[in-house]
Structure 1
Amino acid sequence: MSSEATSLAFKVERCEPELIVPTKPTPHEWKQLSDIDDQQSFRFQVPMIHFYPQNPNMEGRDPVTVIKEAVAKTLVFYYPFAGRVREKFGKKLFVECTGEGVLFIEANADVSLQQFQDSSSLQPPFPCMDQLLYDVPDSDGILDSPLLLIQVTRLKCGGFIFAVRFNHTITDGIGMAQFLKAIAEMARGALAPSILPVWKRALLNSRDPPRVTCLHHEYDEVNDINDTTITLDNMVQHSFFFGPTEISIIHRTLPTHFHNYPSAELLMIFIWRLRTIALQLSPEEEVRLLCVVNLRTKFNYLPLGFYGNAFALPAALTTAAKLSQNSLDYAIELVENAKAKVTEEYVKSMVDLMTVKGRPHFTVVGSFLMADLTEAGFEDVDFGWEKAIYAGPATGKVGLVPGLISFCIPSKMRNGEKGIVVPLYLPAPAMERLVEELDALLKI
């Protein structure tokens, strides 16, 4: 099932953006980001959006006031977020903990949550997103800009929208979910977050001297000799919902030993193959699925509370023809083999590569990356109004090269059916082919 935003139009009245600073004095110091944090791949902003319905138990309480006060209290613990990123010699990034604060916008919209559900099924892309997370002029730089932009918009139904944009160099999805849960705990009256933040970025810094001991195809330098990099002309966004029925259909195409393969990982591989077919690449074109491996759960040297970027991106590598013509279990084997390469030495080698090669961007030509957010817990962020009915990325159009990154987002339809939403951003003809191929495969 796919969706795209319809022409829902509404008016948003915004107050002037303000800077929210920690409620108590915090250290003015310089904190070095890790050699994973400051790679070129992560030098972009990520917009998130949460929708909350009215809660009669919170009658008389204003979500704007509650959240604004909670952010200020939480910044005492997460004070680097109130600072600014600076770049020094060799493209090395630091956070100067200045205490300047994060941007906050109070807003009101003459629209109801039901109207959003009717227009977009609460899946990206969302109508009037630029009004629900206003891009304050000169605020979106990676360097010397606020690290967070938050907008809380009251809705006429009594619900509200919480939207946030974060600088990816300072945290990843899991780290951001940890931070938002901390704000939510403070909003509900906690005196301190239940999980205290841990910096310790030096745990993911390069060795001295650096030694690249493994092959890292995710950072191969590939020239686009076939002109196959996605053109940004005539691009469209679509979201696709996969419930138990759709996922079961995909599972049934696999050999018996893959029937219990995790749903989100299966969808990533399924979409990679389908997307490759839809793009009609040259048969011999190399294609890569960059597999996100969470280092927090893979190894035990990152402490609880660590909120830096903590993942590796091993590449499943093949050609467009082999991926398209072989069955799905071929692609699964490629992915499993790529993930199996991520040992502690592999991670150290990858971090060393960042230093040796000048903090490169991952391979762009022929690549696709999907991040699994089904276990990140964004939907559990409860400011007192109970859990959000949608919580996750605001768009499928993220990254320095839009269209290369997507997500598996936990979602619930209005009828209560739980599933996974995948937003995609592709050239219109490729999107049409993908929708046709998907409908035929799933017989929706």
Structure 2
Amino acid sequence: MAQLPTSLVFTIRRSEAELVAPAKATPREYKLLSDIDDQQSLRFQIPVIQFYRCNPCMQGKDPARVIKDALAQTLVFYYPLAGRLREGRNRKLAVDCTGEGALFIEAEADVKLEQFGDALQPPFPCFDELLYNVPGSEGMLNCPLLLIQVTRLKCGGFIFAIRLNHVLADGAGMIQFMSAMAEMSRGAIAPSIPPKWERHLLDARDPPRISFTHREYDEVEGTIILSENMVQRSFFFGPKEVSTLRKLLPHHLRKCSKFDILASCLWRCRTIAIKPDPDEEVRLLCVVNVRSKLNPPSPSGFYGNAIVFSAAITTARKLCQNPLGYAVELVKQAKESVTEEYVKSAADFMVIKAPAMERFSKELDNMSKEQPADEMGKSVSISSTL
């Protein structure tokens, strides 16, 4: 039984989790992950939840059945996701394409979508009910790489929840897979964008050579923030709020991205709130999509991890005492520092500095990702626990 802070109580009935294999036979092979893919800091699961209103076009159709069939068909093309991770020498990861399949859960909830009210905002209080953690499924090795739960609602709508092992795909790759599922659910015989593996494009060089300092992986020392004194809240910035923040910037920064504005604003506000030593170094890690940074660019359909981290670094005093534009400049410079050589150097760093990567993974905060609406219908809210 699930209960929201608004006192809304409802019951979810789940069927037993089952493995959905590809609809057709797929190659049995080993596929190595890239050195960007299998870094320690990406060895976790990406969970996403989407809420869908009743769609007249779905009249007479069971969303769980439609999605389950689409999953089986999509796994024919994305067959590595139906396999299992194995670990070799030096902790190198590879996918054993066994075709065993992905976990699928069918569920029903005696509640209507509109009854959730304002609770359709991250962090969603009943996330664990709507994306059930099947015992033994959350491991990195020898476990299903993908889990999907579809929960029907009394109003005819449904909730789609998915969990994917991050070493297989980044946010863009996950969206590509979900879009392919949506196409298959509408009767397509193949995804409009054929998936590409090509993980070798983001491997370390031979021999590896680090050509950047990569301060983003420095071991952080300084202010200890006690988690018990923290609360999690969601703040939504619409066009009006973003426009207001944009007006605080000097003219030459007015055309910067929403990410630059919001990341800089939150970094600055958070630093002011935790009150570190004024001379303490503070940093903001940015995740940069490097698909277009490679020469030639990564092929269309590539769904692996094409991301690297870069860091905006300053002192608490400078960040808090300077206007917002100062932080925006730092964030923009951090992103612009990512070149093809930077990406290659980062891959080399993964191989040479593995112990530093393990420390980094422990210090890395969970990151929110903005996901667009799925093409199976227009979702009314999307939440991630990242």
Superposition TM-score, scaled by structure 2 size: 0.94
- 2:254 aligns to what? 259
Offset from partner CA, 1:19-72 (integer Å, 9 cap, x none): 000011111111101100111110111110011100122210000000000000
In 1: Cα distance, 2:319 partner to 2:86 partner:
42
Report whether the alignment pairs 1:316 with 2:312.
yes
Partner AA of 2:232 in structure 1: Q
CA offset at residue 282 of structure 1? 2.2
Q: Which of these residues, 331, 337, 340, is aligned with residue 341 of structure 1?
A: 337
SS in 2 for 1:105: strand
Q: 1:281 to 1:365 in 2, by over 3 A?
A: farther
- 2:346 aligns to what? 350
Partner AA of 2:226 in structure 1: T
- 1:152 aligns to what? 150
Report whether the alignment pairs 1:131 with 2:129.
yes
- 1:49 aligns to what? 49
- 1:407 aligns to what? none
In 2: Cα distance, 1:278 partner to 1:365 partner:
23
Partner AA of 1:387 in structure 2: K
CA offset at residue 344 of structure 1? 1.1
CA offset at residue 270 of structure 1? 0.9
C-alpha contact 1:218 1:362 (8 A) present in aligned 2? no
- 2:84 aligns to what? 84
CA offset at residue 326 of structure 1? 1.1
SS in 1 for 2:69: helix
C-alpha contact 1:290 1:368 (8 A) present in aligned 2? no
CA offset at residue 184 of structure 1? 0.5
RMSD: 1.9
Q: 1:227 to 1:176 in 2, by over 3 A?
A: same
Report whether the alignment pairs 1:293 with 2:298.
no
- 2:190 aligns to what? 192
C-alpha contact 1:18 1:105 (8 A) present in aligned 2? yes
In 1: Cα distance, 2:17 partner to 2:230 partner:
31
C-alpha contact 1:268 1:370 (8 A) present in aligned 2? no
CA offset at residue 368 of structure 1? 6.1
Query: After the TM superposition, which residues 117-128 of structure 1 pair with which residues of structure 2 at under 5 Å, given as runs?
Result: 118-120=117-119, 122-128=120-126
In 1: Cα distance, 2:178 partner to 2:362 partner:
34
In 2: Cα distance, 1:367 partner to 1:12 partner:
33
Partner AA of 2:273 in structure 1: A
Query: After the TM superposition, which residues 386-425 of structure 1 pair with which residues of structure 2 at under 5 Å, given as runs?
Result: 386-391=377-382, 393-395=383-385, 398=386
Of 359-368 and 130-139, the range deviating more from structure 2: 359-368
Of 259-268 and 180-189, the range deviating more from structure 2: 259-268
- 2:238 aligns to what? 243
Q: 1:321 to 1:370 in 2, by over 3 A?
A: farther
Partner AA of 1:76 in structure 2: V
CA offset at residue 340 of structure 1? 2.2
Partner AA of 1:64 in structure 2: A
In 1: Cα distance, 2:227 partner to 2:28 partner:
42
CA offset at residue 5 of structure 1? 5.8
The number of residue pairs the alignment matches comes to 381
CA offset at residue 235 of structure 1? 4.0
- 2:323 aligns to what? 327
- 2:63 aligns to what? 63
Partner AA of 1:252 in structure 2: K
Q: Which of these residues, 277, 299, 321, is aligned with residue 303 of structure 1?
A: 299
Of 296-305 and 70-79, the range deviating more from structure 2: 296-305
C-alpha contact 2:368 2:384 (8 A) present in aligned 1? no
**Any stretches of 5+ residues in structure 1 without a counterpart?**
399-444
Partner AA of 1:255 in structure 2: P
Q: 1:87 to 1:198 in 2, by over 3 A?
A: same
Q: Which of these residues, 342, 356, 375, is aligned with residue 382 of structure 1?
A: 375
Partner AA of 2:195 in structure 1: P
CA offset at residue 6 of structure 1? 3.9
In 2: Cα distance, 1:147 partner to 1:185 partner:
21
C-alpha contact 1:11 1:110 (8 A) present in aligned 2? yes
Q: 1:362 to 1:263 in 2, by over 3 A?
A: farther
**Any stretches of 5+ residues in structure 2 without a counterpart?**
none
SS in 2 for 1:236: coil
Of 294-303 and 104-113, the range deviating more from structure 2: 294-303
In 2: Cα distance, 1:19 partner to 1:209 partner:
41
SS in 1 for 2:246: helix
- 2:140 aligns to what? 142
Q: 1:310 to 1:285 in 2, by over 3 A?
A: same
